[in-house]
Amino acid sequence: MVDTYDRQSASLADAEVLLELGMEAEDADSLREAQGSAAAILEALDDLEFRRMLSGENDFGGAVVQINSGAGGVDASDWAQMLMRMILRYAQRKGWKAMVLDEQQAEEAGIKSATLVISGEYAYGLLKAEDGVHRLVRISPFDANARRQTSFAALTVTPDIEDEIDVEINDVDLRIDVYRAGGAGGQHVNKTESAVRITHLPSGLVVQCQNERSQHKNKAAAMRVLRSRLYDLHLAERDAKNAEAANARKKIEWGSQIRSYVLAPYRLVNDHRTELKVSDVDAVLDGELDEFIRTYLLRSSDAATQG
């Protein structure tokens, strides 16, 4: 990082000399070259700042994203599915690989919950900014009277930790249940008990996976998620601030949201942590999250530096 700063400082000095010469000689080509150099330096410094923001021990790696519907009935289930699509579209925009480990359909529409594994550079470092309760305000498509409805869903983002990181899991602490995987019905319903649900008794954490055909693969995937959740819990217990944040996100209802997406009577996405507001709601729901994520990470990085 120091070498990068030194190189850009030298490039800036060269650009200043070129600018002065261009202005003295009234040389348009030199002025354009100096302008191009300045733009390249700004981009390099921007990348340097980005790397400073994402310097946590797990920021470079992948993420496990869990989505849960909250208060709001069928609208909340539909909202949870919209959030899952938003995260998947963001991952696609970043060129990351996304895998749906588990998806629990709601009875009428949407999903009760889902678990995603996102693999790619800085996936966790960026997606951790989305951790929290998300609030949707819209005219409900499920209300015959077309009334405005507020609904909630939560994203829980934990690092997809490597195998070499020591997370102690004792077999005696696990309750493993197998069941038939659910589906859309008909020929798609699994005829064998391949789905796996693992309960970690000391912590009460429950993870499940049903998307693989093999019970063995589903168990391995569920253990992967459990390791991630236990590691996150360990960090929360080690850091009181993280523990408070973990407690704050347990209730997926009014007053705990990090961001509001308003579709009626006006259209606006408002991040309550940074007060960043974006009017293009459709673009945000289609995965354009970089502005929100970057603003939040900058704010968090500055607060940590000042603290």
Sign for the pseudo-dihedral over CA of 122, 123, 124, 126: positive
Query: Which stretches of 189-286 are assigned E, i.e. beta strand?
Result: 195-200, 205-209, 257-262, 268-271, 277-278
Tokens 């989305």 sit on residue: 130
Tokens 């600018």 sit on residue: 19
What pLDDT shows up at residue 233?
84
Cis, peptide link before residue 265, omega less than 30° from 0: yes
Query: Which stretches of 106-218 are assigned E, i.e. beta strand?
Result: 111-119, 132-139, 148-159, 174-179, 195-200, 205-209
Q: Is the pTM of this model over 0.85?
A: no
Domain layout of the chain by residue ranges: 2-53, 63-164+256-306, 171-237
CA dihedral 247, 252, 255, 256 (to 10 degrees): 40
pLDDT truncated to tens, each residue of the chain (307 aa)?
Answer: 445 445 656 665 666 655 666 666 676 776 677 677 777 767 666 667 777 778 788 899 999 999 999 999 999 999 999 999 999 999 999 999 999 989 999 999 999 999 999 999 999 999 999 999 999 999 999 998 989 999 999 999 999 986 556 678 899 999 999 988 765 444 444 557 789 999 999 999 999 998 888 898 999 999 989 988 888 887 777 665 555 555 555 566 666 799 999 999 999 999 999 999 999 999 999 999 999 999 999 888 765 555 5
What pLDDT shows up at residue 185?
42
Of residues 57, 26, 262, the one with CA closest to residue 159: 57
Crossing angle, helix 2-25 and helix 28-53, to 10 degrees?
Answer: 160
What pLDDT shows up at residue 299?
85
What pLDDT shows up at residue 235?
77
What pLDDT shows up at residue 1?
46
Which CATH number is 63-164+256-306 given? 3.30.70.1660
What pLDDT shows up at residue 55?
78
Buried b (16+ CB within 10 A) or exposed e, 264-303: eeeeebebeebebebeebeebbebbbeebbbbbbebeeee
What span, in angstroms and rounded, lies between the C-alpha atoms of 77 and 90? 20
What residues pair up with 175 in beta bridges, in sequence order?
199
What span, in angstroms and rounded, lies between the C-alpha atoms of 132 and 11? 41
| CATH fold of 171-237 | Double Stranded RNA Binding Domain (3.30.160)
Helical ranges in 121-180 per DSSP H: 123-127
What span, in angstroms and rounded, lies between the C-alpha atoms of 157 and 167? 18
- Per the rule left: phi > 0, alpha: psi between -120 and 50, beta: everything else, 176 is beta
